[in-house]
Amino acid sequence: MTVTERFLKLVSYDTTSDEHAGTCPSTQGQWELANELVRQLSALGAQNARVDEHCYVYAEIPANCAKSLPVLGLIAHMDTSPDASGHDIRARVTGPYDGGDVILNAEKDVRLSPKEYESLRRNVGKHLIVTDGTTLLGADDKAGAAEILAACEILIRSDRSHGAVKIAFTPDEEIGCGADLFDVRGFGADYAYTLDGGTLGEIEYENFNGASAHIRIHGRSIHPGSAKGKMVNASLVAMELNALLPANEIPARTEGYEGFFHLTDMSGRVEDAELSYIIRDHDREKFEARKRVMAAAAAEINRRYGPGTAELTLKDSYYNMKEKLSDCMFLIENAKRALREAGAEPRTVPIRGGTDGARLSYEGLPCPNLCTGGENYHGRFEYIPVEDMETVVRMICNLLWDFAK
């Protein structure tokens, strides 16, 4: 199977994760994809392919040379973001792209346009995999999974020397749980790479520090005709709390190393309301300061309306893996060389998010992140060039072969 064929097969599974499920995995579709991945790994010749009781998929390719080499791991995640529908994904290959609008859905007049998405301009001449404009595509991170599978097939069929390779596919990365039950010791790798990046060429070894904030507002409901001085409208109080946060420090107004507060979900009535945020910053001190800002906003609401009006739950999700990779920069240099050999120019960029690799790096498995070639993740205008996926497959092979030189 080609990497494109593998990708189209993987995205046919609905694996949208659910942060409210309280189970691992959070959705049944991830079990179904896990079993498919085990089937494909076994078919291409990987050894000990299995899915554990928590829906983590593991496999390995033994070394084919006598030289003592580090054991390298390749990791991708199975779930897709709940930010857009992952049900009944209708992916298709278009192209070669001519530089104009791509009609995703003629009936609904949904277009993928370079006027809105500049990345299209550098992909003229390539074959794009797109959706029908009603769902996300799932390249985050089924492109990474497909590329790992395709590279493993090449490694197994080739007689070029390589060390032992460990493979893993994780559930629920998109809801911050991908590394929660990862068996680092059993995985057995000295170093690893997540294939969970975006634009071709990007190599990442620093990411946001991340936390979640959940706020429950308790109001007081009373008939509006006699409410003066008595009613506390929880929905309005929730809006008041949000207004206490820095208005310009949101994803739509920040870039690069700039952190943010991101309101991801809200609901409310007069009697009660809830707000969910993610808090992000690359700098650890600024990250801690952002959490204090959130706590101060909740405290101010309680000062205005009485103790217990705002209940805040803060939870750290992951930290900047740069702190753990500073002594392993050879992993980055090797990835750069492998990417150049594959025909693309590498560049290191900060991740404006997190990956399983961030958590795993703190658990003793140094794990930078590599590009998959995808664009516009988590939305209906997501796409990925076929040619870029093929380049990533070559990069993975080069990376593993180069370690044997």
Cα–Cα distance between 305 and 174 in angstroms, integer?
35
User: Is-contact 10 139, C-beta < 8 A?
Assistant: no
Give yes or no: 79 in active site. yes
Strands of the 202-204 sheet, one edge to the other: 47-51, 57-61, 165-170, 72-77, 191-195, 369-370, 202-204, 347-348
- The residues facing 375 across adjacent strands are 383
Strands of the 384-385 sheet, one edge to the other: 92-94, 128-130, 384-385
Query: 72-77 and 165-170 as β-strands: parallel, antiparallel, unpaired?
Result: parallel
Cα–Cα distance between 122 and 198 in angstroms, integer?
14
Of these residues, 79, 140, 382, 387, which one is catalytic? 79
User: Would you tell me the crossing angle of helices 139-157 and 3-10 to the nearest 10 degrees?
Assistant: 140
Q: For residue 245, which of 166, 305, 300, 172 has the smallest C-alpha distance?
A: 300
Query: 260-268 and 92-94 as β-strands: parallel, antiparallel, unpaired?
Result: unpaired
Cα–Cα distance between 136 and 217 in angstroms, integer?
33
Give yes or no: 173 in active site. yes
CA-CA distances (angstroms) from residue 397 to 60, 149, 152?
A: 15, 11, 8
Of these residues, 14, 147, 153, 173, which one is catalytic? 173
Residue by residue, DSSP assigns 46-113 as -EEEEE-TTS-EEEEE---SSS----EEEEEE--B-TTS--SS---EEE-S--SS-EEEETTTTEEE-
Q: Which amino acids are annotated catalytic? A: 79, 173
